[in-house]
Structure 1
Amino acid sequence: MVKTYFNDDKGLPDAQQLCFAKRTHAVPHGAGHRVVTPLHNLQPNPSAALPVTHLTEEAITAMSVPQLMRLRQDTPILRCGSNALLLTGHREVKEALEHPDLICTPPRQQGVDQSPELANLYDRLTNTKAAIEQTALQEAHLHCLHEQGVLLLQIASDVIRQQSTPQSSLDYSALIDCFVFTALCQFAGLPASEAPRYQAMLEGLTITEQTGDKATVESVVMFHADLQDWAAATMPEQQGLLAALQHRKLTPEQAADCALGVFVTGIQFTAAALKHLVATLGATPSLAQQLPNDSSTVIEEVLRLSPPQPMLKRAAAKSITLCGVEVEADTAVFLSLAAANRDPKVFSQPDQLQSRSASSDSLTFHDGTHRCASALLSFNMISALLTQLAADLTQAPAQPEG
C-alpha cells in the first residue's frame, strides 16, 4: 500500500493529493496515473526553488491544522501550482505579514463576477486604516452599553462557572453574532434601531473568499450607500467612527469605505473569537481564574491556539523576494496562522496554553504592514468584555435564602 501525503481518515480527496517531481510512486487513477509522494520522501523539484503541488485554493483552505502542521515539518513554504504559495512556518508567515508589497485581497463571491463598485471599495479601504485604528482605541468601550452585552456576560458567566455549554448552542451563537453587530453599529455611529436590518443584509457575507452570492454582493453595495448617507448626515460633534473620520477631512464616500471595512472584517473575527474564548474558559477553570489578573494573555493564548481567521490570503502587488523565494506579481500567497502559531521552533509547548512570553509571539493579532483594519477594535472589544466578565466571576455567589 502506497502512503500518500495525507493518509489519515480526513485526508484530502485523491484529485487534491500533493504531487511532486522526484522519488514518487505511480498510483492507478482512472485511465491514467497520478503521482504522489510519501511524507518522508518529500523532495523539491530540481527545476524549481520549491516543492510544487497541485493543491487548489479550495483544498488549501479546507486543510486541517494537523495536516498543515505535518506539512510544515517538511517545508514551511510550498509552491501550489504556478501562481500560489502556501506558508506554514512562523518565521515565513511573519515575514509575509510585514512585507509592504503583499496586499490584502478583497472577498470574491463564488459563481459571480465581482462588481467594479465593490472592488473599488476594498482598494480605497487600504488608505484609511490608520483612522480606523486610532478611533478604535478611543471608542471601543461603547460595546458595553448594549442589552445584548449584558445578557452575553450573564450566559458566559454561567458557562464558565458551571463548566458546561448553554442549553441551546445555536441561540448562544446567534446572541454573540447579534451582540457583535450591534456593537459595531454603535461604534460606527449608526442608530441601534438599524442594527437588525443591516445584520440581515450582511448575513451571507464572509471573509473567507469562498461563500456569498450575487444578492450578498448587491447587499454590500447597498450597505455602503447607506453608510455614505449616514456619513454625510453626521455632525463632527457626534460620537462614533463616522464622526471621528470627519476630523480627518475624509469625504463621506471615504468614511463609508472605512466603516464598511470594519464591518466586513470585524463581524466574523470578533464573533468567532468570543465563541472560542467562552468555550475554552468554560472547559478550563484554571484559565478562567487568570482573567482578573491578566486578561490580555488569556485572550492572546486562547486565540493563538484557535485563531478566528486561521488562513489569510495575500497577493503580490509586484514581483518580490519573499523568504528567499522569487515571487511574481499577482501570485496568491496563503498564510496559515493556525500552523505558524504552533511552530515548535518558536513555542516550546506549541499545543498548550503558555505564558505571556509565548503569547507575545502569536500572529493572530499581527502588527504587519497590512494589518486587519478592525483587529485592534476586535481585541479591545474582547478585552473589555472579558474584563467585565472577570469582575463578575470574582464576585461571591449569592447565598441561598433561608
Structure 2
Amino acid sequence: MTTSSGDPRSLLAQLIDPAHRADPYPVYRKIRELGPVSMPENNLTLFSSFVHCEEVLRHPSASSDRIKSTVGQRMIFGPPSFLFLDPPDHTRLRRLVNKAFVPKVVKALEPDIAALVDGLLRDAESTSEPFEAISGLAYPLPVAVICRLLGVPLADEPEFSAASALLAQSLDPFISATGISVAGAADGGFEKRQQAGLWLRDYLRELIARRRRDPGDDLMSGLIHVEESGDHLTEEEIVATCNLLLIAGHETTVGLISNAILALLRDPEQWAKLAADPARASAVIEETLRYDPPVQLLRRIAGADMAIESLTIPKGDNMLLLLAAAHRDPDAFDNPDRFDPDRATTRHLAFGKGPHFCVGAPLARLEATVALTALTARFPHAALADIPTYKENVTLRGMSSLPIALSGPRS
C-alpha cells in the first residue's frame, strides 16, 4: 500500500477541475494506483479500490453524520435528511419513509412513467433537428415523477429543477489555497445554493400545510400520515426527506439515464441489441451503474478510530470514497474500462451498501428501464449528433447536453 508517493493533492485538484469532467477516469486511475491516500493535514483519507470502498461502506464505525466530522460544516439544507444520519435516528426515519415508499407505490407509477416517456419521444419525432436527450428526456422525466410523487404541481417544475441543480453542487469537494474541503459549500457559489435551499424549504412547508388540509394519494401525504408504533415524522423531517428525494432522486436518475444512452450510442451494437430485446435493459442499467456511475464519490466520517488494511483513520476524520475509481478497478473487474452489459456478473457500489442503501433504487431502475427500452425501440438507428457537454458537478457528475440524430448518421 502507498500512502505518500505521487502527488494526491494535485490529482484531486485535477479531478475537481471542470476540464476533466468529460473523462475523469484517467485521473481516477492515477489516484487508484497510489492505493489509500492519507492526508492528515486535511483530516482526509482517499479510498479508490473496490475492496476498500466496499469495506468502508460496510464498516460499523463509518458514519454519515457530518456533525461528527472534525472539519467545520456549513448547513444549507437545514436539519439533515436520514441520508446524513446514523442509527438509531437513521433507522427510525428510514423505517417511517419506507412505510410510505412501499414497492407497490413504485410499481403503480409504471403506467405514468411510460406515458411521460411516450409523450417526450413523440415530441422528438416532430422535428428534423437533433434530439437533445438531456432536456428532452433524461431531465424532465425524473423531475416529473418526483413532482407526481410529492404532489407538486408541474407548473412549479422549473423552480424545482433550478433548485435541484444548485443544491446538487453542495455535495462536491472543494480545494482552496488553505486546504481541501469536503463540506461542499466553501466556494463562491455558497450564497446561491443557500438561497435555493431556503426557497425550497419554504415551498415544501407550504405544500405540507396544503396536504394537511387536503390530503391526497401522493407520497407527501403518506409521509404526513405515516405511523409506526405511534411514531411520526415532524415537519422538519418531512422537509428534509423531500429535499433528499428531489436532489438525490432527481439528479442521480438524470445521470443514470443519460450515461446509459451515451454508452449505448458509443457502441451501436449494444444499442441495436437493446432495441431488439427489451429484456436486456436490466443488464444495461447495472453495467452503466458500474461503468459510468452518476454518483462518482461518497463521503464518510470515522465515528471511531478505524483500521482499513494497515491504515488508521482517526475518529472524526473524513473519508472520500472514489466509487468511479473503484468501479474501474482491474483487481475487481476484467476489462474494467469496457462497457459490457454481457458480463457474467456485474456488481457496483452506485446505490451504496448496508443501512444506507439507496431507498430510491427501485424507482431509478424503473425510470431508466422504461426510458431506455422506449428510446431504442422507437429509434433503432440513432447516433450521436455532436460531442456531449458536462456540468461542473463532481460528485453527481452528469451531462448538460447530449444531442442525438434519431435517424442515424447523416450522409
Corresponding letter in the other structure for 2:36: I
Corresponding letter in the other structure for 1:352: R
Distance change >3 Å, CA 353–CA 44, structure 1 → 2: closer
Q: Does 1:137 align with 2:103?
A: yes
Residue 99 of structure 1 corresponds to which residue in structure 2?
59
Q: 1:280 aligns with which of 260, 263, 267?
A: 263
Residue 138 of structure 1: CA displacement? 3.2
Residue 230 of structure 1 corresponds to which residue in structure 2?
207
SS of 1:277 mapped into structure 2: helix
- Normalising by structure 1, we get a TM-score of 0.71
Residue 344 of structure 1 corresponds to which residue in structure 2?
330
CA deviation map 1:61-107 (0-9, x unaligned): 4473113223323x43111243111111110011112224323477x
Q: Does 1:217 align with 2:194?
A: yes
Residue 65 of structure 1 corresponds to which residue in structure 2?
25
Q: Contact (CA 8 Å) 1:52, 1:79: kept in 2 or not?
A: no
Deviating more after overlay: 76-85 vs 233-242: 233-242
Q: Does 1:150 align with 2:85?
A: no
Residue 151 of structure 1: CA displacement? 4.2
SS of 1:293 mapped into structure 2: helix
Q: Contact (CA 8 Å) 2:47, 2:321: kept in 1 or not?
A: yes
Residue 57 of structure 1: CA displacement? 5.9
Distance change >3 Å, CA 55–CA 80, structure 1 → 2: farther
SS of 2:80 mapped into structure 1: helix
Q: In 2, Cα distance between the equivalents of 1:299 and 1:330?
A: 36
Q: Does 1:181 align with 2:118?
A: no
Q: Does 1:240 align with 2:202?
A: no
Between the aligned residues of both structures, percent identity stands at: 20
Higher RCO (CA 8 Å, separation ≥ 6 residues): 2
Q: In 2, Cα distance between the equivalents of 1:124 and 1:349?
A: 33
SS of 1:183 mapped into structure 2: helix
Q: In 1, Cα distance between the equivalents of 2:345 and 2:190?
A: 38
**How do residues 47-66 of structure 1 correspond to structure 2 at under 5 angstroms?**
53-55=8-10, 58-59=13-14, 61-62=16-17, 64-66=24-26
Q: Contact (CA 8 Å) 1:51, 1:78: kept in 2 or not?
A: no
Residue 148 of structure 1: CA displacement? 5.5
Q: Does 1:319 align with 2:305?
A: yes
Residue 167 of structure 1 corresponds to which residue in structure 2?
130
Deviating more after overlay: 87-96 vs 125-134: 125-134
Distance change >3 Å, CA 384–CA 70, structure 1 → 2: same
Residue 194 of structure 1 corresponds to which residue in structure 2?
156
Distance change >3 Å, CA 310–CA 192, structure 1 → 2: same
Residue 203 of structure 1: CA displacement? 3.9
Q: Does 1:381 align with 2:358?
A: no
Corresponding letter in the other structure for 1:243: S
Q: Contact (CA 8 Å) 1:88, 1:335: kept in 2 or not?
A: yes
Q: Which entry has the higher C-alpha Rg, 1 or 2?
A: 1
Residue 262 of structure 1: CA displacement? 0.9
Q: Which stretches in structure 2 are left out of the alignment for 5+ residues?
A: 67-71, 173-183, 381-411
Residue 254 of structure 1 corresponds to which residue in structure 2?
237
CA deviation map 1:332-360 (0-9, x unaligned): 11111111111112212212233566553
Q: Does 1:76 align with 2:35?
A: yes
CA deviation map 1:220-275 (0-9, x unaligned): 12312322332343269622221222223322322222111111212221112211
CA deviation map 1:348-393 (0-9, x unaligned): 2212233566553222233333234544432332223334446646
Q: In 1, Cα distance between the equivalents of 2:129 and 2:102?
A: 31
Corresponding letter in the other structure for 2:323: L
Q: In 1, Cα distance between the equivalents of 2:219 and 2:31?
A: 42
Residue 184 of structure 1: CA displacement? 1.2
When the two chains are superposed, the root-mean-square deviation of aligned CA atoms in Å is: 3.8
Q: Contact (CA 8 Å) 2:48, 2:326: kept in 1 or not?
A: yes
Residue 11 of structure 1 corresponds to which residue in structure 2?
none
SS of 1:114 mapped into structure 2: coil
Q: In 2, Cα distance between the equivalents of 1:92 and 1:328?
A: 17
Q: Contact (CA 8 Å) 2:83, 2:356: kept in 1 or not?
A: no
Distance change >3 Å, CA 229–CA 101, structure 1 → 2: farther
Q: Contact (CA 8 Å) 2:261, 2:372: kept in 1 or not?
A: no
Corresponding letter in the other structure for 2:219: L
Corresponding letter in the other structure for 2:103: L
